[in-house]
Amino acid sequence: MDEQTACFTGREIHSAPALSRTSFLKIRYLDSPLMVDTEYIRHLTDSHKQTDGLEVQLRRATDHAYALAHMTPVIHNGDLIAGNKTRFIRGAIPYVNYAASPFLKEMRKEEQDAQSKHSEQGMGGGIGKTISEAEQNGLRLISGKFLISKDDYEGFKDVCGYWEDKCFMEQGDRLWKNHFGKADFIVNGWEIGLYTAPHEPCPEGRLILDYETALEKGYEQIIRETEDKINAFIPENMNGASSLFFWKAAVIVLKGASGFTSNYAAEAEKLAGKENDPARKAELEQMAETCRQVPLKPPRNFREAIQAFWFTYLLGHIEGSHLGFSPGRLDMLLWPYFNHDPDITVEKAIPLFEELFVKMTQIEYIASLSWQGLGHGNLYQNLILGGVDEKGEPVNNPVSMAILQAQINMQMTQPTLSVWWDEKLDPEFLMKAAECVKTGVGYPAFFNQATYVAHELETSGLPVEIIRKHSAIGGCTEPTLQGMSHGIVQAGFINHGKLIDLVLNEGLDPLTGIRMFEAGNPQTFEEVRSYYLKMMRETVRNWQQYWNYVMIAHRNTVPLIFCSVFVKDCLGGGKGMDDGGAALNQSVTTLSSGMVNVANSLAVIKKMCFDDNVCTLDELFHAVSQNWKGYESLRKKALNVPHWGNDYDFADDMFLGLFDEYCTWVKGQNNYLGLPYDPSMLAISTPVPFGKVCNAFPDGRLKGEPLADGVSSPFPGSDICGPTAVIRSSSKIDHRKIRGGLLNLKFHPSALKGENGSKNLLALIKTYFEKPGFHVQFNVVDSRMLKDAQLNPQNYRDLVVRVAGFSAYWVEMSKALQDQVIERTEHSL
């Protein structure tokens, strides 16, 4: 194998940072340990101790504003863009106001997070460094991979203790555990892996703020307008009173934010005063000047526009414990500033984006171990390029090209790039996007804007112009309306694979012995299917209702104020997002993964037990319960039954039927804002931990193996008819019915070689989207190369691989996830 791995086909596109400055920024990032910074949460806590008795929105705004204004402004060497989430290069804020118990458990040396067994984290790269550094410097290790200084640690313990009974998670638990009749089902569901772990530690995300307004008006004008509303306010009903609180909270939080950015102006000025190098001095003076202008006033040029965007983005990010908080359509946002700035060129813009992307990657998050494992430390910051504007005209412009080039050069894991595909996009732009794919970095992912517009027209009833203009991707693959959508969404997943275990065992989980349902032993194919559907429906409904309870607690402990200011039309309506103030509230989804395995299992059951009479249902169930041991020949027959993803109607229809049932059922339940839940099927890295807790399946999958990926990716290894058959199968799904879905294809570099390779790739995308598909993304790697990377991680420190909705550093991925990526059938010679 060594000989083979030594001669792999290399990737076609290699590139390097545009400047030695940005190269330095990248290397510094790669060499930095992961740190926990408790500064924000300490200030927030200090304030919270003083604000008891304030109305909840005012209290939240006051505490957050206080913390913002007291955070240390840190300007690192070489930075031109000001503003960091923590004082460290790679730092995370521990949001114990959201969930204190995961930290307390660890600190009290209680048993490891009960759910950590469902997940596994990588230990290479910066993470490996973290651990060795901890030992050397007497720092403490926390949450598996973060460092914290001894002093911080002691103070942090007190902060955690303070929040133990006040935090959002605890408040939520008290509510649903006492009032929700199905509370036991949820708790047991966690225990057996039917659901992902409690996700109160990171409930928010897939949110994109209204950066357009933030830049156009500037905070000062927004504050003035809001104060006008407050002054004109006349109390006429109870809801109106709540508006008053929201507006006041908005002003408080914007003023705190202004303090945060002004501190940066002062710090830059101070550093400039001390600086001896004239070039750096000039840079710092310009930074100070910029921070005095934005975000308080509108940007006057492209540089200021980037800084204004970054401040608002960062401030939104600091407020909540987000996953999937995204920049959205940055090329569309920045184009007017680029266009009207006589001094800016694509060449000058590229290093600015390179720096911006390092800054995005430097944001880390720390939550419960299980969520860190699931998200693989990824923040899912999605930047989407291209697409069409409100009139349906293509948006690609020189900023789009600069952003693509910056990520081709840097290959940072954040932000993950996406392209809204449209027929009318400039071929030069699409070829550049294909070039980026060929670096092997795993992005951009391609999304079909027309499919989403159709979904949103039906769901929201908003005018098509608005949907076109605002459509973006929040998080890994979920489309949403930029600056208009409710962004406190349910991040947890349902494990369809576990339902197979339960159907096969009369409602009892075979691995833990926990009973979830009272069910009989199915005798016919129809019974198997209807048992599954019944269990699926109850599982979905309980999950949705549990989350509706949790959201009541969110509203009463950590309502989003700053973020609401920048979501239309919270300010106009005088209601924060938690109260349903967003223009689009139907963006709350119910996520699940593993349905492909259910469809494949049903196909096997029907064909082997009823159509061809190869064995009885009892025999099949018994073989599965034995993990197929002693039933190898039966397993071979099961694997030979056509599976989903090969364009065989038999298996594909099985999937489509289930898919319809799922969508209909999800939409039949209301979210906490009184609107139907929206179905969605992402995967992030759930296939690995979900597969780990499942017994063998009738489709031939063995116990513990990962599940199939996303809504329409075939089970690894079962897509034997090539990528076009996968696409033909996947396009049988009506993607307009769901908010987000995902199709991964992996290509050997040789399949994409040269200009023709790029053109063929684009033709493949076009063909899929004409059908119409919704999303496709590509891994351009050589599996031998990946095997080599497993053996010699030190040589692959900055290798980035597409996993599901995101890219991750190879060395920081778990072995199981690496194996899965290797196994995804290589669609090439």
Partner 1 sequence: MKGTIINIQHYAVQDGPGIRTLVFFKGCPLKCAWCCNPESQSPGSQLRYISYRCKQCMECVSACTNSGVSSEEGHMSHSFELCNECNSKICIDKCNYDAVALTGKDISSEELLASIAADISFYRNSGGGVTFSGGEPFAQHEFLVEMLQKCKALDIHTAIETCGWASEKALRKAIPYTDLFLFDLKIADPDLHLEFTRKPVGPILANLELLSSEKADIIIRFPVIAGITDSTKNLEGIAAIMYSNNLKQINLMPFHSLGTDKYEEHGMKYTLDQIKEFDPGQITAIRDFFLKQDFICEIS
Q: What residues make contact with partner 1 under the rule CB under 8 A?
A: 632-633, 635-636, 647, 721-725, 728, 750-753, 756-757, 759-760, 763-764, 766-767, 770-771, 827, 829
Tell me whether residue 440 or residue 723 sits nearer to partner 1 (CB atom).
723
Count of alpha carbons within 13 angstroms of residue 426, beta-carbon side: 12
Picking from 665, 673, 663, the residue whose alpha carbon sits closest to that of residue 542 is: 665
Q: How far apart are CB 763 and partner 1 at their closest, in Å?
A: 3
Q: How far apart are CB 647 and partner 1 at their closest, in Å?
A: 7
DSSP calls for 247-289: HHHHHHHHHHHHHHHHHHHHHHHHHHHH--SHHHHHHHHHHHH
Tell me whether residue 393 or residue 770 sits nearer to partner 1 (CB atom).
770
Tell me how far apart the alpha carbons of residues 262 and 407 are, in angstroms, rounded to a whole number: 30
Which amino acid makes up residue 389?
D
Tell me whether residue 401 or residue 726 sits nearer to partner 1 (CB atom).
726
Query: At 357, is the secondary structure helix, strand, or coil?
Result: helix
Tell me whether residue 311 or residue 631 sits nearer to partner 1 (CB atom).
631
CA angle 609, 614, 618 (to 5 degrees): 50
Tell me whether residue 27 or residue 763 sits nearer to partner 1 (CB atom).
763
**Could you tell me which residues come within 8 angstroms of residue 249 by beta carbon, excluding any fewer than 6 positions away?**
57, 58, 60, 61, 62, 561, 576
Tell me how far apart the alpha carbons of residues 572 and 593 are, in angstroms, rounded to a whole number: 38
CA angle 445, 780, 721 (to 5 degrees): 90
Q: How far apart are CB 478 and partner 1 at their closest, in Å?
A: 27
DSSP calls for 425-462: S-HHHHHHHHHHHHTTS---EEEEHHHHHHHHHHHH--
Q: How far apart are CB 766 and partner 1 at their closest, in Å?
A: 5
- Of the candidates 202, 476, 609, 663, the residue annotated as catalytic is 476
Please provide residue 32's backbone torsions phi and psi, each rounded to the nearest 5 degrees.
Answer: -95, 140
**Could you tell me which residues come within 8 angstroms of residue 200 by beta carbon, excluding any fewer than 6 positions away?**
98, 99, 168, 169, 172, 550
Given a contact cutoff of 8 angstroms between Cβ atoms, the answer to whether 654 and 638 are in contact is no
Our CA dihedral for 365, 368, 374, 380, rounded to 10 degrees, sits at -20
Q: Is 478 considered catalytic here?
A: yes
**Could you tell me which residues come within 8 angstroms of residue 92 by beta carbon, excluding any fewer than 6 positions away?**
34, 35, 36, 37, 86, 146, 363, 364, 365, 366
Picking from 189, 196, 140, the residue whose alpha carbon sits closest to that of residue 372 is: 196
**Could you tell me which residues come within 8 angstroms of residue 584 by beta carbon, excluding any fewer than 6 positions away?**
456, 460, 462, 480, 481, 484, 485, 486
Q: Is 476 considered catalytic here?
A: yes
Q: How far apart are CB 762 and partner 1 at their closest, in Å?
A: 8
Helix (H) / strand (E) element for 783: namely: helix 783-791
Tell me how far apart the alpha carbons of residues 690 and 299 are, in angstroms, rounded to a whole number: 47
| Local structure of residue 613 (DSSP, 8 states) | -
Q: How far apart are CB 770 and partner 1 at their closest, in Å?
A: 7
| 3-state secondary structure labels for all residues of 574-611 | CCCHHHCCCCECCCCEEEEECHHHHHHHHHHHHHHHHH
Given a contact cutoff of 8 angstroms between Cβ atoms, the answer to whether 590 and 544 are in contact is yes
Structure tokens at 470: 């605002």
Does residue 463 have a cis peptide bond before it, meaning omega lies within 30 degrees of 0?
no
Q: How far apart are CB 316 and partner 1 at their closest, in Å?
A: 40
Tell me whether residue 301 or residue 767 sits nearer to partner 1 (CB atom).
767
Tell me whether residue 540 or residue 726 sits nearer to partner 1 (CB atom).
726
Q: How far apart are CB 729 and partner 1 at their closest, in Å?
A: 11
Q: How far apart are CB 438 and partner 1 at their closest, in Å?
A: 13
Please count the other Cβ atoms lying within 10 Å of the Cβ belonging to residue 507.
18
Tell me whether residue 432 or residue 728 sits nearer to partner 1 (CB atom).
728
Tell me whether residue 69 or residue 431 sits nearer to partner 1 (CB atom).
431
Helix (H) / strand (E) element for 679: namely: strand 678-680
Tell me whether residue 158 or residue 423 sits nearer to partner 1 (CB atom).
423
- Of the candidates 478, 563, 570, 694, the residue annotated as catalytic is 478
What Cα–Cα distance (Å) separates residue 94 from each residue in 108, 160, 186? 17, 10, 26
Q: How far apart are CB 736 and partner 1 at their closest, in Å?
A: 19
Tell me how far apart the alpha carbons of residues 254 and 61 are, in angstroms, rounded to a whole number: 9
Query: At 224, is the secondary structure helix, strand, or coil?
Result: helix
Q: How far apart are CB 632 and partner 1 at their closest, in Å?
A: 4
Given a contact cutoff of 8 angstroms between Cβ atoms, the answer to whether 129 and 31 are in contact is yes
Tell me whether residue 633 or residue 664 sits nearer to partner 1 (CB atom).
633
Which amino acid makes up residue 111?
E
Does residue 343 have a cis peptide bond before it, meaning omega lies within 30 degrees of 0?
no
Please count the other Cβ atoms lying within 10 Å of the Cβ belonging to residue 286.
15
Structure tokens at 79: 């930075």
Q: How far apart are CB 769 and partner 1 at their closest, in Å?
A: 10
Tell me whether residue 266 or residue 763 sits nearer to partner 1 (CB atom).
763
Tell me whether residue 301 or residue 828 sits nearer to partner 1 (CB atom).
828
Q: How far apart are CB 660 and partner 1 at their closest, in Å?
A: 24
Catalytic residue set: 476, 478
